Amino acid sequence: MYPNFYYIFKDWFGIELQFLKLINSFGFFVAVSFLLANIFMGKELRRKFRDGILGEGRLMRYWVGKPYTRADYITSGITGFILGFKFLPLVFDFSLAAENTQEYLLSAQGSFPMGVVAAAAFLAFNYWLDKKQRLEEPVEKTRIVDPSHYMGELTLAAFVGGLIGAKLFHILENLSEFMANPVESIISFSGLTFYGGLIVGGAAVLYTAKKRGIPPLHMLDAGGPAMMLAYGVGRIGCHVSGDGDWGIVNTSPKPSWMSFLPDWMWSYDYPHNVNGIGVPIPGCEGQHCTHLVPPVFPTPFYETVMALVLFMILWGLRKRLRYAGLLFGLYLVMNGLERFLIEKIRVNTIMDFLGMKVTQAEIISVSLMIAGVVLTGLARYWKVPTKKPVNPGTTLE
């Protein structure tokens, strides 16, 4: 396992670069998943716009040559101070964050003088840029933008809403853990529930899209394949870092039909996992020196494979379905079914629900499948076309 990029370079290339400990493996793949979701969602929104089903775009007014505002300079100064306060000290003494990067970043530890210097540098640079672009008479211009112009705003809404939802649902699923240490539970980077992120993040995206004039059903269809891809890539981070989202104990012999595959694809001990769970690894020294005994099912790897396959199916269907909402309905059914099946071999918190012993993910996954079936039925009833009518007034039958 590779809790951070230091371990990757050490294992693959035999190089020990201490600063790479700052790049958390799980965080890196989460960032990549958001980037890919941004790319594919934007690509689909641009296609829908070119096909004429998202209207004629929105008129955006902007100024050329207008002086920077006071808020621009304040934001620049604060950004520079934070970067100087936290990150410049690491150039001179990396040991500050070598063992526990998260603890250092969330602490008040840093260098005030370096923060002031960095803030001054940022302010000076922005002053130079301001003078360079400023005109004696600023000019107001207009241009038409397609919905993909708002992808940055939509991605930010997904990130903030997803993070809040993932943390909130984890707390609800583990109330005893939260009550024992509320502050640590809230600020910890671990303990994130996917479905919480999906529900709250999705709601935040829909709210933002509505403000920007993007039809909800088309926004959902554009987001379905992108979210499936992001989920698959995010699970790579879970597997690589060993964040605890693994399966139940698996000591059974590897099936003959898997004989050509590596043993870890059937049963894995997650050495050097980021959570420090398991027993000590003989001869290992440092922070990440445990592995699981006995080994478990590598469920994050299975979910990555399933999610990427489902993404390709959804991406291939996106131009063929006749009505908006059908694609997202299929996404909900596929997502719910995939998670419901993986829960059977995955470690999770068991809850009492209507007299049944189930996990939170099982309840939500079944709900998503039901919602997906309902949405596909309603989409046929609403008949919002996914293609521009051939002639004015023509509708799809």
The Cα–Cα gap between 41 and 46 comes to: 9
Residue 392 has pLDDT above 80, yes or no: no
- Return d(Cα 5, Cα 163) in angstroms, integer: 23
Pairing between β-strand 350-353 and β-strand 356-359 as defined by DSSP bridges: antiparallel
Query: How would residue 309 be classed by pLDDT, with cut points 50, 70 and 90?
Result: very high
Count of residues for the chain? 397
Tokens of 149: 């112009």
- What lies within 8 Å, CB to CB, of 232 at 6+ separation is 33, 303, 304, 305, 306, 307, 308, 311
The predicted structure's pLDDT at residue 370: 96
Average pLDDT of span 170-183: 70
Window from 15-19, 132-136, 232-236 with minimum mean pLDDT: 15-19
* Residues 312-341: tens digit of each pLDDT: 999 999 999 989 999 999 999 999 999 999
What is the C-alpha separation between 323 and 267, in angstroms, rounded? Answer: 43
pLDDT of 395 reads 42
**pLDDT tier, 268 (very low <50, low <70, confident <90, very high otherwise):** very high
pLDDT of residue 118: 94
The pLDDT value given to residue 32: 93
Least confident of 3-7, 8-12, 194-198, 278-282: 194-198
Find the range with the poorest average confidence among 8-17, 63-72, 264-273. 8-17
Q: Hey, how many other C-beta atoms are within 10 angstroms of the C-beta on 43? A: 16
Q: Which residues pair with 323 in a beta bridge?
A: 385
Band of residue 194 on the pLDDT scale cut at 50, 70, 90: low
pLDDT band at 391 (very low <50, low <70, confident <90, very high): very low
Average pLDDT, the chain: 86
pTM greater than 0.85: no
What number is the average pLDDT over the span 163-179?
75
Tokens 């209507």 map to which residue? Answer: 354
pLDDT for 98: 59
Average pLDDT in the 8-36 region? 85
Q: Give the distance, in angstroms, between the CA of residue 266 and the centroid of all CA atoms in the same chain.
A: 27
User: What is the residue-wise DSSP string for 106-164?
Assistant: HSS-S-HHHHHHHHHHHHHHHHHHHHHH--SS-EEEEEEE-GGGGHHHHHHHHHHHHHH
Instruction: Please state, in angstroms and rounded to a whole number, the distance separating the CA atoms of residues 323 and 215.
Output: 13
Q: What's the token pair of residue 388?
A: 């521009």
Q: Is the confidence at residue 189, as pLDDT, over 90?
A: no
Query: Residues 250-260: pLDDT tens digits?
Result: 999 999 999 99
Instruction: Report which secondary-structure segment, H or E, holds 279.
Output: strand 279-280
Round to whole Å and give the CA distance between 305 and 295. 20
Residues 258 and 340 sit within 8 Å (Cβ to Cβ): no
With a cut of 90, say whether residue 348 has pLDDT above it. no
